[in-house]
Amino acid sequence: MADIQSPVPGTFYHRPSPEDAAFKSAGDSVAVGDTIGLVEVMKSFIEVQAEEAGTFAGYEIENEAPVSAGDVLAKLK
């Protein structure tokens, strides 16, 4: 299991835009550098990228929920 943590405080999004599907769903393969979500802060959207490869286990924080820096956003297995 690997945790993907938020680099910044802000608002977490699972999707690139409201019309699109989530970046990842359970069972998807994840490569190093894959974007798994966005955190919005200071009028910017920061891409949250996987730092190790694995299989996506799921999001740990709901779409559009507030997050703090270091919060676990998603888990890999």
Q: Which residues pair with 2 in a beta bridge?
A: 76
Burial class (CB in 10 A: 0-12, 13-18, 19+), 56: buried
User: In this structure, how many other beta carbons lie within 10 angstroms of the beta carbon of residue 65?
Assistant: 13
> Closer to other proteins at the Cβ: 5 or 49?
5
> Closer to other proteins at the Cβ: 28 or 60?
60
- Among 22, 46, 61, 72, the residue binding other proteins under the rule CB under 8 A is 46
> Closer to other proteins at the Cβ: 28 or 40?
40
Query: Would you tell me which residues interact with other proteins (CB under 8 A)?
Result: 5, 7-11, 40-44, 46, 66, 68-70
